[in-house]
Structure 1
């Protein structure tokens, strides 16, 4: 079950808590039929972050989620419901909520080898000129996220297709190294160094592998 945390929140009194309760009720129904269930909550900080100016509904929704998770950890009960969550801002999360997770894993930005694999994967269906050096692209994109690399390859592909429709011809031309370099010059990493520093500090304090 893929859940976008931002969509759970509602401006109507009590609706956010009902949404959370319904998610876990549905998960328990699947579990009762003998099926394991994974609840993946994306951008969980929008649901469980502690904010200075939060209203009562945000606190109630956070408490409801903690209550539902505690219900999965009842002693003497084996649960096949697993809760996973992702966030780019772990330092905003409520500490009682953090403690409910047995594993808290920091996923760093991709290193050189990972970036090379990403370029190989995202260009596998593109027609490349011989001058395209994926190893060099991986080298010069230090600090870029996997999403950044995907966006670079998509933008290059869009450029080639747009040229084809504008100029015509029998088929789109092959992608050149300069096409990638042009996009990279204009597209900076989406993750700033300050965020990386905060993530590393959070991992030192709360990481559990």
Structure 2
């Protein structure tokens, strides 16, 4: 079914590029049908998320082409639409997130590893005549700060950030996946050749570089291109460039061994321990103190009852406390007929515990042993 879907997708793309929109729409619909049937049978396949995104892109393209046909019928002439193939390049001034290492709670070991691998080589390249690591893999439970610390690292060195995802690489132009990979690396080398640090950040990297399975041709070519590009960064003309590839994954065991070896640094981003969870609660509650009075919060108790909760979970918990208190105040104001002054509402430990009781932790304890085993086998700080 995947092969047939790919076959019709290629026909659709060819018709689309030639301007035969009616035929393109017909073939896009057939491709969608084959991919949809495949997902019903194999909903948890390695590339299932990508096929779902592909289906949505095809539907969007069908909508665009249908409008183009309507326009041509109304006014005559030829109308062509093409998707922009520009790479998303985020310079420091364009990034909304300005956090640096000091703004992040804990992850001290991860910060130290990243200073050694990235920050120090960028600041003092003359001290590294043998070059420095180009590929860095961050792995660990979801919601524990892999993306946050990668953004903070980019801010520490004022790096240009190129964000890559399976959706951007495995585009609707199936045959262009390997070209997209080359385009990303070419752009990164161009920028880095001027002395500007560049980070290619690949979130959910296992979605692109998983263990070989039942692949279609485009996936295989894309993977080979990635291998070539990563190997190319070690060559003489590139090994002094301030260019880094950082991959983040919750499932490092899904990565192909060839790619594991090319990520020279493999760093575990762990779940927060009790003391760090306490610090996280104190950090987020301090934000609420700017608006609400806070009374005798038992941070030790909150940390005790939130084992297996991630930093993202704790942030979400305090945000929900905020929403609950704001709702309560708004309803009180609406019920008053005359006095519209805002009532004072003190936030207590019980307000937070009430929310915790409605939310399950994101971390499966069984995962932790898997991460430890993978770290013992492949970890490289």
TM-score (norm 1): 0.91
Aligned residues of 1:144 and 1:191 also touching (Cα < 8 A): yes
Whether 1:69 aligns to 2:195 is no
Aligned residues of 1:36 and 1:81 also touching (Cα < 8 A): yes
* Matching residue of 1:94: 256
How many corresponding residue pairs?
209
Match of 1:82 among 214, 222, 244: 244
- Give the C-alpha shift of residue 135 in structure 1: 2.1
The more displaced of 1-10 and 119-128 is 1-10
- Give the C-alpha shift of residue 176 in structure 1: 1.9
* Matching residue of 2:78: none
* Matching residue of 1:6: 166
* Matching residue of 1:145: 310
Query: What is the rounded CA distance, in whole Å, between the counterparts of 2:164 and 2:285 in structure 1?
Result: 29
115 and 166 in structure 1: CA distance in 2 versus 1, 3 angstrom threshold: same
99 and 148 in structure 1: CA distance in 2 versus 1, 3 angstrom threshold: same
Secondary structure of 2:318's counterpart equals helix
**Structure showing greater Rg:** 2
Query: What is the rounded CA distance, in whole Å, between the counterparts of 1:164 and 1:54 in structure 2?
Result: 55
- Give the C-alpha shift of residue 91 in structure 1: 0.5
Secondary structure of 2:249's counterpart equals coil
Secondary structure of 1:104's counterpart equals strand
Q: Which ranges in structure 2 are unaligned for 5 or more consecutive residues? A: 1-160, 334-340
* Matching residue of 2:208: 47
Aligned residues of 1:128 and 1:176 also touching (Cα < 8 A): no
Match of 1:60 among 215, 221, 226: 221
Aligned residues of 2:189 and 2:241 also touching (Cα < 8 A): no
TM-score (norm 2): 0.52
- Give the C-alpha shift of residue 21 in structure 1: 1.8
The more displaced of 86-95 and 15-24 is 15-24
Whether 1:30 aligns to 2:191 is yes
Match of 1:163 among 317, 321, 328: 328
Q: Which ranges in structure 1 are unaligned for 5 or more consecutive residues? A: none
* Matching residue of 1:180: 352
Whether 1:194 aligns to 2:345 is no
Whether 1:204 aligns to 2:365 is no
Query: What is the rounded CA distance, in whole Å, between the counterparts of 2:203 and 2:197 in structure 1?
Result: 19
Query: What is the rounded CA distance, in whole Å, between the counterparts of 2:277 and 2:268 in structure 1?
Result: 18
Match of 2:273 among 94, 108, 111: 111
* Matching residue of 1:130: 295
Aligned residues of 2:278 and 2:300 also touching (Cα < 8 A): yes
- Give the C-alpha shift of residue 73 in structure 1: 0.9
**RMSD (Å), alpha carbons:** 1.9
Query: What is the rounded CA distance, in whole Å, between the counterparts of 1:128 and 1:52 in structure 2?
Result: 56
Aligned residues of 1:42 and 1:85 also touching (Cα < 8 A): yes
Structure with greater contact order relative to length (CA < 8 Å, sep ≥ 6): 1
